[in-house]
A and B are shown apart, each in its own frame.
Chain A
Amino acid sequence: MPTVVVMDVSLSMTRPVSIEGSEEYQRKHLAAHGLTMLFEHMATNYKLEFTALVVFSSLWELMVPFTRDYNTLQEALSNMDDYDKTCLESALVGVCNIVQQEWGGAIPCQIVLVTDGCLGIGRGSLRHSLATQNQRSESNRFPLPFPFPSKLYIMCMANLEELQSTDSLECLERLIDLNNGEGQIFTIDGPLCLKNVQSMFGKLIDLAYTPFHAVLKCGHLTADVQVFPRPEPFVVDEEIDPVPKVINTDLEIVGFIDIADISSPPVLSRHLVLPIALNKEGDEVGTGITDDNEDENSANQIAGKIPNFCVLLHGSLKVEGMVAIVQLGPEWHGMLYSQADSKKKSNLMMSLFEPGPEPLPWLGKMAQLGPISDAKENPYGEDDNKSPFPLQPKNKRSYAQNVTVWIKPSGLQTDVQKILRNARKLPEKTQTFYKELNRLRKAALAFGFLDLLKGVADMLERECTLLPETAHPDAAFQLTHAAQQLKLASTGTCLAFWAPQLQQSSDHNLMRFQARTT
């Protein structure tokens, strides 16, 4: 999940902060301090996160495009100039463009907006933007909600009292609301000082940047892994089950299945599964002290020498062309598979299916999947030349069951012509002739379209008179019989004739007649 840091570099950020007994700080220094902490945390725990840095005042500028090089980001922080007034809307438009260019509209993105709560004045100020928000045309619509899945975190270099003294807080809350409630506002608790800024950014880290650690299990084989990006909670049904579901930290493999059988299933999200070495201190937030890094490196070195289940799993899945089905929670599954980055490099990845007992209809219910050895006969055949998947639905869809639709005249004409074609090839085509005739009769009865039955009866009688002299005597016999039967049905004299059970037996009558005469 990429991050865009949006940093306010308007003049108001240079307002001094009075700190007793030390050199004078400005708000932007506090902001830089907080961001440094965030970057250091990411460099240690969130190495794969792409982050971009945007600065804005009345204009905006992409200082650092998406990168994993946190040194570059750090350097950019210390090279920021001061500019004029705050103009949030244009900056947010900029963020939209940057993210969509790089990631499109489907990748979730986190936006960290760092500002002092002074929202600008006049045109382009947030107040002005919000006031005119409803009078926009499609071309200059307000950039929120972002056109991609997003979280907007607003880091205020101000405390709550200060924001509440104006309508700043309200305006910022409006912003979160406009983003469909996706996001949060952070303010400094207590006086503005380095320590309190740290604790504010600490809260952001806890909320949005804690790595997701899990144990991957397959029977007795296990591996500690980091799942990246962090899987987000999922709401199945906002009404009956509004509590967001989170995935287990024990990821248990329940079985393996051919890629061909699972065939590119729809997924909620994809994640890298990275083996990790937990050091003794656990996964505490790295504060960027070099000792920690060394410790971690040595832990990684040891880990590098220990055969890891992830390696075995990844290699096996790749070689076998299979995926592992993994249990993520109650009635929630996902799959582990090898994903090729390039020709040489591939990764172990995990995709999450939608929660539910049957996320992939062609596999049936997940709980009903079992080991091949339990089947009486190997469902894949002795030579591995067949597959039990995809499962046939119990009721075929309309396009697989030859339904009759006569809404367009052409549908009706095609069906009538089929009967006529076969009628002219009697008695060879007796079988198909009655099959088509019965199909038409069944539909006509269901639609109450009795005129059609009479019409087709007339048509068959006419065909009978047109038979050449060389025709087989049976042809005339079948045509006459069929016409009679249709006429009988079209009069609707006998309701019982239409009852579904009896209708089948009447189908039989037609067929039996045919059997006797041929």
Chain B
Amino acid sequence: MKIFSESHKTVFVVDHCPYMAESCRQHVEFDMLVKNRTQGIIPLAPISKSLWTCSVESSMEYCRIMYDIFPFKKLVNFIVSDSGAHVLNSWTQEDQNLQELMAALAAVGPPNPRADPECCSILHGLVAAVETLCKITEYQHEARTLLMENAERVGNRGRIICITNAKSDSHVRMLEDCVQETIHEHNKLAANSDHFSLSLMQIQKCELVLIHTYPVGEDSLVSDRPKKELSPVLTSEVHSVRAGRHLATKLNILVQQHFDLASTTITNIPMKEEQHANTSANYDVELLHHKDAHVDFLKSGDSHLGGGSREGPFKETITLKWCTPRTNNIVFSSISELHYCTGAYRISPVDVNSRPSSCLTNFLLNDPRYKIDGSLEVPLERAKDQLEKHTRYWPMIISQTTIFNMQAVVPLASVIVKESLTEEDVLNCQKTIYNLVDMERKNDPLPISTVGTRGKGPKRDEQYRIMWNELETLVRAHINNSEKHQRVLECLMACRSKPPEEEERKKRGRKREDKEDKSEKAVKDYEQEKSWQDSERLKGILERGKEELAEAEIIKDSPDSPEPPNKKPLVEMDETPQVEKSKGPVSLLSLWSNRINTANSRKHQEFAGRLNSVNNRAELYQHLKEENGMETTENGKASRQ
């Protein structure tokens, strides 16, 4: 596929000389008598279009089809020629639509039959067409800028479609010579002027399509001639066409050739004759589109090539039978299913105003979801950024998380991932934390513990520690987002704070306890050692970020996989927590011990002495110390409230 082929630039040159005001001599009845009207009225005489009108409406139809199917990168420049050339639009994308062209044509108006024919010529337009082909389009400019030193790869080709009334074959030859000469001159000019090279390009290839049109019933003075190479740059073809509908048909065929279009007829579309009719009749609608849409059809050898369509301009059309989408399923089935689609093509109805055509296009356009919202214009980078924030702490397994199973945490978890927090957000986060503190004080059950815990006891307290750790991990992952995130963390740390020495002691105690539990259960040591090493190796290979390492750890601890041995790795484990903790986001130990504790607590109720033992030695008369500690904590709480 080439973007800058001949069809990138099309110049229409339409003759606006006095003879174009002549009638095409094809009558149109416009005063059709409506039934049950007063008898005896003679309908108004039929009217006929001028050669000009036929030329303009046919070229507009060409443009309509082209714009429908190629709304971008296929450009038209419209020139009318009489005593001079009038360029009606430019190559810019804003100028590329029917409304602009129609408005400009209205400003020009029909040719003046009383103007001096000697001053008027199509040559002015042809010369202007060559000039305009040299002008760079914004797409060419963009591509050249992008390609830098390879800018010469951007081609400059184009097509001139000239609709005129020529006098003879030699007149046609003269027009061709003029185009060739002009191209030659302009190419020289463009080549020699570095100065202009930013806005001008040499023409590499130009296709001249000369259409001689004449009133119906007259003899043509010009003969058809197929495409012929006049020079390496210029090819030319001549079409001699009667005006009226014959001209429109010719341009319709040309637009299909020039833009590789093909036709598909959708058959048997049920349509109601009246708005509230109960019955419907079946109609066919013919559509044009890029011929690639047919490639797979033709390949499959199962082509439904119909004969020529009724109106005859197209040699072949593929027929497809309409399938009415099941309306009640639209929401749940057709739309929410992905279908394998190898291509989607823009279409243009052949007969845009016919009732079946507009009925079909309206059905397709009247999608209730058809709405626009400009506020969505936010770069994709922001989306990536958001994904990064949202995934900083993301446990992949439900049983590995406490906080994401708790409704009470939702207000905090949903806002903490934001880039910046409002005062209200911070307040909500703090409320969430206070609420959790409150839950802890009331000894409310937590989602993780419900499985394993029987009754209340020290376990509940342990669950809260796990929960607080996880929450801290989540909040810490975001403290660098803003100062307000920092404040949430401060609040969290303040609320969960315990007298330092007690916290430390407890922590150490728990570590030991972990070991103990494991040593009791560790039976298949060898296996575990192996898996431990394997996963260590895996980690090394993957070389992922810290979080991912943490994941691997958690994962290994899932109930299905063997537990790690209580041998050497544990020594490392003793060191890790401090390091991890100080680094912030993820505490390996806390996540680790969460799992182990949960798993173990399901199996038995822990002996209180061992629970608090250090190096397998339980401290006696702890309660004395404990009570002291509790007092401070309670004081601390009271002071906060």
User: Which residues of A are interface residues toward B (Cβ below 8 A)?
Assistant: 104-106, 147-148, 218-222, 224, 236-242, 252-255, 259-260, 262-267, 270, 277-278, 280, 298, 302, 305-307, 309, 312, 321, 323, 337, 339, 364, 366-371, 373-377, 379, 386-393, 395, 397-401, 403-414, 416-417, 420-421, 442-443, 445-452, 455-456, 458-459, 462, 466, 492, 495, 498-500, 503
Asked if B319 lies at the interface with its beta carbon under 8 angstroms from chain A, I say no
Extra pairs beyond A400-B365, A449-B110 (13, CB < 8 Å): A220-B391, A254-B380, A254-B384, A259-B337, A264-B341, A307-B558, A388-B373, A388-B376, A390-B369, A392-B370, A398-B68, A398-B348, A416-B31
Q: List 17 A-B contacts (CB under 8 A).
A: A104-B300, A220-B547, A266-B342, A267-B342, A270-B340, A305-B556, A369-B378, A370-B377, A386-B371, A388-B376, A390-B367, A395-B71, A399-B68, A399-B357, A445-B109, A452-B30, A499-B107
B104-A459 in contact (CB<8A): no
Asked if B97 lies at the interface with its beta carbon under 8 angstroms from chain A, I say yes
With A375-B378, A407-B58, A450-B110 as contacts: A399 and B338 at CB distance below 8 Å: no
Alpha-carbon distance between A412 and B48 when the two chains are bound, in angstroms: 12
Asked if B352 lies at the interface with its beta carbon under 8 angstroms from chain A, I say yes
Within B542-597, the residues touching A (CB, 8 Å) are 542, 544-545, 547-548, 551-552, 555-556, 558, 560-561
Alpha-carbon distance between A104 and B296 when the two chains are bound, in angstroms: 9
B106-A442 in contact (CB<8A): yes
Asked if B102 lies at the interface with its beta carbon under 8 angstroms from chain A, I say yes
With A307-B551, A448-B105 as contacts: A413 and B352 at CB distance below 8 Å: no
Residues of A within 8 A of B106 (CB): 442, 445-446, 498-500, 503
A417-B34 in contact (CB<8A): yes
User: Contact check: which of B2, B53, B111, B331 meets A449 at CB < 8 Å?
Assistant: B53
Asked if B638 lies at the interface with its beta carbon under 8 angstroms from chain A, I say no
With A305-B558, A399-B361, A406-B57 as contacts: A254 and B351 at CB distance below 8 Å: no
Asked if B324 lies at the interface with its beta carbon under 8 angstroms from chain A, I say no
Residues of A within 8 A of B541 (CB): 278, 280
A405-B387 in contact (CB<8A): no
A413-B97 in contact (CB<8A): no
Closest Cβ–Cβ distance, residue A88 to chain B (whole Å)? 23
A388-B371 in contact (CB<8A): yes
Asked if B630 lies at the interface with its beta carbon under 8 angstroms from chain A, I say no
Q: Looking at the complex, which of B128-136, B185-193, B532-540 is the stretch in contact with chain A?
A: B532-540
Asked if B281 lies at the interface with its beta carbon under 8 angstroms from chain A, I say no
Alpha-carbon distance between A408 and B248 when the two chains are bound, in angstroms: 9
Kindly count the residue-residue contacts between A and B in the assembled complex, taking CB atoms under 8 Å apart. Answer: 307
Closest Cβ–Cβ distance, residue B139 to chain A (whole Å)? 10
Closest Cβ–Cβ distance, residue B78 to chain A (whole Å)? 12
With A270-B340, A366-B380, A448-B50 as contacts: A392 and B372 at CB distance below 8 Å: yes
Residues of B within 8 A of A106 (CB): 296, 299, 342
Residues of B within 8 A of A495 (CB): 107, 109
Please, which residue of chain A has its CB at the minimum distance from the CB of B65? A398
Q: Looking at the complex, which of B147-155, B444-452, B455-463 is the stretch in contact with chain A?
A: B147-155
B373-A399 in contact (CB<8A): no
With A254-B387, A386-B371, A399-B68 as contacts: A264 and B377 at CB distance below 8 Å: no
Alpha-carbon distance between A399 and B388 when the two chains are bound, in angstroms: 44
Asked if B389 lies at the interface with its beta carbon under 8 angstroms from chain A, I say yes
Per-residue CB contact flags for chain B residues 593-607 toward chain A (1 = under 8 Å, else 0) read 000000000000000
Asked if B608 lies at the interface with its beta carbon under 8 angstroms from chain A, I say no
B53-A302 in contact (CB<8A): no
Asked if B464 lies at the interface with its beta carbon under 8 angstroms from chain A, I say no
Please, which residue of chain B has its CB at the minimum distance from the CB of A392? B372
User: Contact check: which of A262, A447, A452 meets B105 at CB < 8 Å?
Assistant: A447
Asked if B124 lies at the interface with its beta carbon under 8 angstroms from chain A, I say no
Asked if B29 lies at the interface with its beta carbon under 8 angstroms from chain A, I say yes
Residues of A within 8 A of B29 (CB): 409, 413
B538-A302 in contact (CB<8A): yes
Alpha-carbon distance between A448 and B110 when the two chains are bound, in angstroms: 4
Q: Looking at the complex, which of B229-237, B260-268, B392-400 is the stretch in contact with chain A?
A: B392-400
User: Which residues of B are interface residues toward A (Cβ below 8 A)?
Assistant: 1-4, 28-32, 34, 38, 41, 44, 47-50, 52-53, 56-58, 60-61, 64-65, 67-68, 71, 96-98, 102-111, 143, 147, 150, 153-155, 245, 248, 296, 299-300, 331, 335-344, 346, 348-349, 351-354, 357-358, 361, 365, 367, 369-373, 375-384, 386-392, 394, 396-397, 418, 531, 534-535, 537-538, 541-542, 544-545, 547-548, 551-552, 555-556, 558, 560-561
Residues of B within 8 A of A238 (CB): 1-2
Closest Cβ–Cβ distance, residue A413 to chain B (whole Å)? 5
User: Contact check: which of B3, B41, B108, B386 meets A466 at CB < 8 Å?
Assistant: B41
A-B interface, 9 closest residue pairs, ranked by CB to CB distance from nearest: A370-B378, A219-B391, A448-B110, A105-B299, A500-B103, A399-B361, A446-B102, A219-B387, A445-B106
Alpha-carbon distance between A238 and B4 when the two chains are bound, in angstroms: 11
With A399-B357, A442-B106, A445-B106 as contacts: A239 and B68 at CB distance below 8 Å: no
Residues of A within 8 A of B384 (CB): 219, 252, 254-255
With A260-B369, A264-B338, A266-B344 as contacts: A373 and B30 at CB distance below 8 Å: no
A240-B3 in contact (CB<8A): yes
Please, which residue of chain B has its CB at the minimum distance from the CB of A504? B103
A448-B53 in contact (CB<8A): yes
With A219-B391, A466-B41 as contacts: A373 and B299 at CB distance below 8 Å: no
Residues of B within 8 A of A456 (CB): 30
Alpha-carbon distance between A374 and B419 when the two chains are bound, in angstroms: 11
Residues of A within 8 A of B105 (CB): 446-448
Residue of A148, A237, A446 ringed by the most chain B CB atoms within 10 A:
A446
Alpha-carbon distance between A371 and B387 when the two chains are bound, in angstroms: 9
User: Contact check: which of B44, B351, B386 meets A455 at CB < 8 Å?
Assistant: B44
User: Contact check: which of B348, B418, B544 meets A397 at CB < 8 Å?
Assistant: B348
Alpha-carbon distance between A498 and B205 when the two chains are bound, in angstroms: 37
Alpha-carbon distance between A456 and B47 when the two chains are bound, in angstroms: 11
Residues of B within 8 A of A260 (CB): 331, 335-336, 369
Please, which residue of chain A has its CB at the minimum distance from the CB of B244? A407
A105-B296 in contact (CB<8A): yes
B392-A219 in contact (CB<8A): yes
Alpha-carbon distance between A366 and B556 when the two chains are bound, in angstroms: 39
Alpha-carbon distance between A456 and B44 when the two chains are bound, in angstroms: 9
User: Contact check: which of B32, B97, B367, B560 meets A395 at CB < 8 Å?
Assistant: B97
Alpha-carbon distance between A254 and B383 when the two chains are bound, in angstroms: 6
Closest Cβ–Cβ distance, residue A105 to chain B (whole Å)? 4
B154-A368 in contact (CB<8A): no
Residue of B38, B155, B396 ringed by the most chain A CB atoms within 10 A:
B396
Residues of A within 8 A of B375 (CB): 375-377, 379
Alpha-carbon distance between A105 and B295 when the two chains are bound, in angstroms: 10
Residue of A242, A377, A399 ringed by the most chain B CB atoms within 10 A:
A399
A448-B542 in contact (CB<8A): no
A264-B373 in contact (CB<8A): no
A412-B28 in contact (CB<8A): yes
Residue of B143, B154, B383 ringed by the most chain A CB atoms within 10 A:
B383
